[in-house]
Structure 1
């Protein structure tokens, strides 16, 4: 960790950012990324990989046939029909893994957050998600807070017609949304949507702050780093014949408690803990607090039965 009075806050989120950024030894480009993340909650950069075009071509060729119900080779077909994502393709595709584990990205994130980063999840899309505004922090969060981020890579040029990513600049500064804030119990529940319970609160905060969505019209090979709590989503795809190839990688940071807030009640110590695997090294990360391991709690019998019923329903 860097020598800071507040090691439990990511450097780019810290109220001491203005003083501490001076001692990081950043290049001009890195300094711009750090300042954008601090002030706006996201930063744009050219993905640092000389082989990125070749990797993108192989990913499109290899993953294309795996999207069930989607005719990607037909220029006139509706690309928004069928399977829209493949999760954790890094487990079988070398290029997906290489993008997620890019050493320059890991080094940059480690510097900007003040502790080593590790990638733990990939999502590959042939089209836009058209997903409503949400914060990743309800899906994957950490204690201390905010030691999580996402990197979105454009695998083709993005236009207003093919459903660009959008974000609400400055929303990363809001409090991390928890079930206690919306008077809801989360531990032991499996809702249809992990983010739907929080949408009313997010909408109210955006209205109060006067924040409006801004689209990211990226060039092929550009990447977007966003902070854990930045509100973002996918714009409406107005031309269903278009593709919008992209890869998202989610990153955690070392020596944290990793959990899912949507299924947790922090105030009474009921956390839905996660055991993420580092994509770059294959090592399972057990939650730790100041170096001390945090044990996974036993799941209640009722929850096991509920999970079993859900599995049976999905298999039928």
Structure 2
């Protein structure tokens, strides 16, 4: 389809091409007041990270609490970033369905997290109608444990429980991504994938697709901060579930109950416009009936 038919600007076309070919795209976050928002967020959230002394430039910033989930519930600037209308409009154009934000994560330092895909945490039917947007809240150099990703890995087969030979329904995990770690390592070796770092400047954002392998690099200097915000988005008219706890062949899905951060309204699980009933007490994740 040509750019004109989709109504994309030249920069939106560049973003669409990068997402398609690489699995991620970089852009300046579309908010003229982003610098002021970032400083207010740092001031508000800073004291909530127990065990981190931001006042001492020589202290180890990697010790203590290193993330806050869903700070949008009490911080209006976090909510405003997640619900940015220009970003929602862009994602809607790119995916062909209206986007809605459903989760935020705020970090003062890097995660130092192994490569993983969000698709094992947040998946959908139809597949891949989910994405993440990562915002740099300061300039980030190679010593601060920058975000990394494996370009093109979004095209690899999504790992499922059936592929790795495990049952997901009613299982217990410390992390939904743990069962898939060996599979990702095998894919990396098979494809010869090479990691790239995102040495971001303050106010830059990175959109990544659901199946892109990404993580946090080793932090070489523990005195440094790496302030950032992640917002996760789904798209309308899908079934939303957690693959780590599903057995799709048996009709057992770990269905999510979601509300949009943007308007506070519920987003029901739907299939081709029909609402999918949640199972309630009949059993976790049973896809009961339409």
Q: Which residue in the other structure is 1:310 paired with?
A: none
Distance in structure 2 (CA, Å) of the matches to 1:220 and 1:252: 25
- For residue 44 of structure 1, give the secondary structure of its aligned residue in structure 2: strand
| Partner in structure 1 of residue 225 of structure 2 | 243
Provide the rounded CA distance (Å) in 1 between the counterparts of 2:132 and 2:56: 31
Q: TM-score, normalised by structure 1?
A: 0.88
Q: CA deviation at 1:56?
A: 0.2
Corresponding residue number in structure 1 for 2:128: 146
Counterpart selection for 1:116 from 80, 98, 103: 98
Structure 2 residues not aligned, in runs of 5+:
285-290
Find 1:166's aligned residue among 148, 171, 175: 148
Q: What residue in structure 2 maps to residue 199 of structure 1? A: 181
Deviation at 1:21, TM superposition (A): 4.9
Q: Secondary structure at the match of 1:63?
A: helix
Secondary structure in 2 matching 1:153: strand
Alpha-carbon distance, 1:177 to partner = 1.5
Asked if the contact 2:3/2:9 (under 8 Å) is kept, the reply is: no
1:296 Cα deviation after fit: 1.0
- Give SS of 2:232's match: strand
The answer as to whether partners of 2:120 and 2:244 remain within 8 angstroms in 1 is: yes
1:49–1:131 CA distance, 2 compared to 1 (3 A): same
Q: How many angstroms apart in 2 are the aligned matches of 1:20 and 1:237?
A: 43
Aligned-residue Cα RMSD (Å) equals 1.3
C-alpha distance in structure 1 between counterparts of 2:272 and 2:3, whole Å: 24
Distance of 1:159 and 1:268 partners within structure 2:
47
Residue 288 of structure 2 is matched in structure 1 by: none
Q: Structure 1: where are the runs of 5+ without partners?
A: 1-18, 304-316
Map Cα deviations across residues 88-134 of structure 1 (whole Å, 9 max, x no partner).
Answer: 00001000000000011000000000000000000000000000000
CA distance in structure 2 between the aligned counterparts of 1:20 and 1:92, rounded to whole angstroms: 42
Equivalent-residue separation in structure 1 for 2:281 and 2:142 (angstroms): 45
Aligned partners of 1:21 and 1:166: how far apart in 2? 30
Deviations 1:17-68 (A, max 9, x none): xx36552121111010000000000000000000000000000000000001
Matches within 5 A, 1:26-175: 26-175=8-157
1:283 aligns with 2:262: no
**1:9-28 map, 5 Å:** 19=1, 21=3, 23-28=5-10
Aligned residue pairs, count: 285
1:242-261 correspondence runs (5 A)? 242-261=224-243
Greater shift in the superposed pair: 155-164 or 185-194 = 185-194
Deviation at 1:224, TM superposition (A): 0.2
Q: Secondary structure at the match of 1:230?
A: coil
